[in-house]
Amino acid sequence: MRALAWLLAVLALAGCVRIAVHGNPEAWADDMADALSPPLRVATYNTSLYDEAAGGLVARLRAGDADARNIAAVLQRVRPDIVLLNEFDYDADGTAADLFQRDYLGVAQPGGGDPLRYPYRYLAPVNTGVPSGLDLDGNGTVGGEQRSRGNDAWGYGLHPGQYGMLVLSRFPIDAEQVRTFQQLRWSAMPGARQPRDPATGQPWYPPAVWQQLRLSSKSHWDVPVQTPMGTVHLLAAHPTPPVFDGPENRNGLRNHDEIRLWAEYITPRPAPWLCDDRGRCGGLPADARFVIAGDYNADPHDGDGEPGAIAQLLDHPRVDAGFVPRSAGAVERARQRGIDRKGDTAAHTGDFGPRSGTLRLDYVLPSDNLRVLDGGVFWPAAGTPGAAIIESSDHHLVWLDLRFD
């Protein structure tokens, strides 16, 4: 339907454009080629498709999962060309991704649209649930049960791969050029926000732990996608929530520096410390086109994050953050929660309960050499089309339509 709408618009445009450029056939041809090509729709969606047991998501998907059907229905309605799914449990065989693509996206869902197929995908290990062998929460023991075990993983999780990531694409992914930063150490970052004990001013992590601690709570991925317009680097991440810690604020500071990783990566200057998991160092070329996507657990104005955390990206000179996706559903829910907010509630992307309320945590941020045509948050108001399929996650899908400048 999106392609048909663009074709009708082009046919209407053709009669007007031909007169305006009759003296320059090449310019007219370029305009028409640009108009005939539909925009690139890029999205992020925290799906909440995770399970506390290893293999639990696979079992649920095999049994027929109502939440997965709703997530698929939302994707079928929005139909992004490239989408990052956060909180989608990783398994090494890709079984969960296979099942979700075949039995959910590949089948027309109630409240959704036509089947949706993605020939290309990227998934890889993440730090969540992977035992560190270290006492990361400072309780005097390594590992343990439930939350104690999760706190001593490289990123909080009850089993390896919990809260993983999955990239789906209509267009080829250049797998050889993918860069991952799962193992980058926090201490490698110049000026890292090392947590400190507020009572003593001393580093909260012992030196032996600090030197080993990984920065990314899941992973940071640079996934180059070969779109019809050219290569676009999808910069995917899911920084830790800036809560569930103590006065040392270790999660808040980690969230800040996880966000900073991308700010450093897109800044055109030498970064010999910024080495990926294959040993390749440095950031993104200055002329590269990119889209930063994911649940960054940081609101520009409200919430528990470090002040200025997400501003590292929103205010970055290579990022065009001028277009802010919005929804009617966010305004309605924020009004129901009744929590005072400094920011624009229409831009909020999720509802996190009566105590935390609505916040803007999910982002699709294009580079300044991409042009934003449209965008939104799929959060319909109650009683409107699509409202019945949005409650399977506390987050909502965010999308942008883009063109090359």
Q: What is the pLDDT of residues 128-182, one digit of tens each?
A: 999 999 999 999 999 787 787 889 999 999 999 999 999 999 999 999 999 999 9
Could you write out the three-class secondary structure of 188-249?
HCCCCCCCECCCCCCECCCHHHHCCCECCCCCEEEEEEEECCEEEEEEEECCCCCCCCCCCC
Residue 332: the pLDDT is: 98
**Same domain, yes or no: 7 and 49:** no
| Segments of the chain scoring below 70 in pLDDT | 1-36
Residue in this structure with the two tokens 């139909």, named with its chain if needed = 79
Assigned token pair, 13: 């445009």
Residue 32: the pLDDT is: 46
**Same domain, yes or no: 207 and 266:** yes
Residue 149: the pLDDT is: 87
Residue 7: the pLDDT is: 45
**Same domain, yes or no: 265 and 287:** yes
**Same domain, yes or no: 18 and 109:** no
**Same domain, yes or no: 68 and 214:** yes
* β-strand partners of 371: 403
**How long is the chain?**
405
Residue 258: the pLDDT is: 98
- What residue type is 317 in one-letter code? P
At residue 285, the 3 state secondary structure works out as coil
| Residue 141 falls inside a structural domain | no
**Same domain, yes or no: 1 and 122:** no
Pick from 113, 155, 400, 371: nearest CA to 258:
155
Alpha-helix runs per DSSP H in 266-385 = 311-314, 328-337, 353-356
CA count, 13 A, side-chain hemisphere, 337: 21
| Residue 3 belongs to domain spanning | 1-38
* β-strand partners of 404: 370
Rounded to whole angstroms, what are the CA distances from 196 to 201, 248, 251, 350?
A: 6, 6, 12, 31
DSSP string, 62-75: HH--HHHHHHHHHH
At residue 275, the 3 state secondary structure works out as strand
In angstroms, rounded to a whole number, what is the distance separating the alpha carbons of residues 153 and 104? 31
| Residue 148 falls inside a structural domain | no
CA count, 13 A, side-chain hemisphere, 146: 0
Assigned token pair, 70: 């709703």
| Residue 304 falls inside a structural domain | yes
Residue in this structure with the two tokens 């600090």, named with its chain if needed = 210
At residue 182, the 3 state secondary structure works out as coil
Between β-strands 40-49 and 82-88, what pairing exists: parallel, antiparallel or unpaired?
parallel
**Same domain, yes or no: 17 and 116:** no
**Same domain, yes or no: 17 and 93:** no
Burial 85-122 (b: 16+ CB within 10 A, else e): bbbbbbbeeeebbebbbebbbeeebebbbeebebebbb
Residue 3: the pLDDT is: 53
| Residue 137 falls inside a structural domain | no
Q: 10 Å Cβ neighbour count for 18? A: 13
In angstroms, rounded to a whole number, what is the distance separating the alpha carbons of residues 217 and 255? 9
**Same domain, yes or no: 258 and 374:** yes
Task: Give the number of domains in the chain.
Answer: 2
| Residue 152 falls inside a structural domain | no
| Residue 189 falls inside a structural domain | yes
| Residue 134 falls inside a structural domain | no
**Same domain, yes or no: 286 and 268:** yes
| Residue 154 falls inside a structural domain | no
Residue 405: the pLDDT is: 87
Alpha-helix runs per DSSP H in 232-319 = 250-265, 311-314
**CATH code assigned at 172:** 3.60.10.10
**Same domain, yes or no: 114 and 5:** no
At residue 9, the 3 state secondary structure works out as helix
* Inter-helix orientation angle 25-36/2-20, to 10°: 170
**Same domain, yes or no: 184 and 74:** yes
In angstroms, rounded to a whole number, what is the distance separating the alpha carbons of residues 82 and 399? 10
Between β-strands 230-237 and 290-295, what pairing exists: parallel, antiparallel or unpaired?
parallel
In angstroms, rounded to a whole number, what is the distance separating the alpha carbons of residues 251 and 302? 17
Burial 124-154 (b: 16+ CB within 10 A, else e): bbbbbbbebebbbbbeeeeeeeeeebbbbbb
Residue 94: the pLDDT is: 98
